[in-house]
Structures are given as structure tokens and as C-alpha cells.
Structure 1
Amino acid sequence: MKATERFKKRYVLFRVIGEQGATESEVRNCVHEAVLSFFGEDGVSCAAFKLVHYGHAKKIGIARVQREQAGKMVACISLVNSIAGKGARLECVRSSGTVAALLRKA
């Protein structure tokens, strides 16, 4: 793959706020559904969303997104208000160019 074909990445650190813990697959699915409803199918592919890390104990997650779509993804993640039918919301803490920087700040 040529270097020009790859996209630049941003990583978004978010916190799950809710009484009950959610599994990694539940968080991934709810964010994917939020991105799908906010952006549509074309936007999902452009955003290149991927859940890179989710810590069940600390209730924090790290999502990888395309750099140009990072602001829209932060807004989209903030719109989540339930995870698998349970009352919970996602709060974006910060974004960075590397996962290591986010893990140091988490």
C-alpha cells in the first residue's frame, strides 16, 4: 500500500458514565449505531471508526478515527445516551495522535 493511500489517524479517549458496566462488544455496537445514524453508511466508511481499547474496570475506551473526521466523531460519541438498553452515556475526555499519550493521561 502506498503511503498516500493510508489515512492519518486520531485516537479519542472516552469514558462510559453509567451505573452498570458495559462489555466491549456492547460499547462497540452502540458507537457504531450512533455513527451510522449520525453520518449514514457513507460517513461510517469515511470515518474509519475502530474501537482500539476498552477497559471494563476503569470504564474507558479508545477509538481510532480518521483525522479529518475527529471533530464529528467526538460529537457523535457524545450523542450516545444508552448502551444495550441500559442508561449510560459516553463522555469524550481528549484526543491525541498516539494511543500511548492517551493511556498516560487516562
Structure 2
Amino acid sequence: MKSTLRENHRYIGVMIMADGHMDRPLLQSAVRLGLLEKLGEIGFAKADPKLAHVGHDSTTAIIRCAHTEAESVRAGLSLITRIGQKKLHLMPVFTSGTILKCKRALAKASKL
């Protein structure tokens, strides 16, 4: 496929602050349900958010979304406060066009 026809994505690096350990399926459902509630069905479909990467210590994650909806996804992520009975805060730290640059920025931010 030509690169001009391919959809552009943005990768949002997120720091995870939770009461307990967050495994990938639980985090994925938190992101999906939280953004669906905050953005609505049409906004969620336009943004097409996907959990691209979870750090091995479950304190960082990278979420892929459409480049036109990156700001609304960042806003929606910061409004997620809980999943089920667990308190949860997702803090967007960095937005990038490549997953590698996002991983480097998250590694730098987690050292601070």
C-alpha cells in the first residue's frame, strides 16, 4: 500500500498509577471502557485506540490512536479514575509518531 494511503497514527505514552498490579487485559478494558464513556461511540470509532505496549513492571503503557484524534484521546485518558473497584490514574506523558521514540521518552520519564 502506498504510504500516502496509509492511516497515520500517534503513540501516547502513559504513566499508570494504580492501587494494585494492572495486567494487560484489565488495563485494556479500562482504556476501552473509559474512552468509550468519555468520547462517545463516534469519537471512539474515529480515534480507534489500541493498547500497543505495556511495560514489564506495568507502570507504563503506550496507546496507539488516529493522529487526528490524539488530543481527545489524551484528554479522555486523563479522566479515567477507576476500573471496577480499583482506583486508577492514567497520566499521558508524551505523544509521538513512532513507538520507539515513545518508549525512550517513557523510560526517561520513569527514571525521574
TM-score by length of 2: 0.85
Residue segments in structure 1 that go unaligned for 5+ positions in a row: none
- SS of aligned partner of 1:7: coil
Residue segments in structure 2 that go unaligned for 5+ positions in a row: 107-112
Task: Say yes or no: does 1:14 pair with 2:11.
Answer: no
Tell me if structure 2 keeps the 8 A contact 1:12–1:64. yes
Give the superposition deviation at 1:5.
Answer: 4.2
2: CA distance, partners of 1:47 / 1:5: 17
Q: CA deviation digits over 1:26-70, x for unaligned, max 9?
A: 111111111111222222111011100012415100000101100
Tell me if structure 1 keeps the 8 A contact 2:21–2:58. no
Q: CA deviation digits over 1:61-102, x for unaligned, max 9?
A: 000010110000000000110133201211111110101011
Tell me if structure 1 keeps the 8 A contact 2:34–2:77. yes
**Equivalence map 1:1-106=2 (5 Å):** 1=1, 3-106=3-106
| One-letter identity of the residue aligned with 2:105 | K
Percent sequence identity over matched residues? 29
- SS of aligned partner of 2:76: helix
TM-score by length of 1: 0.90
Query: How many residue pairs are counted as aligned between the two chains?
Result: 106
2: CA distance, partners of 1:83 / 1:56: 20
Instruction: Name segments (4+ residues, structure 1) moved above 2 Å.
Output: 1-6
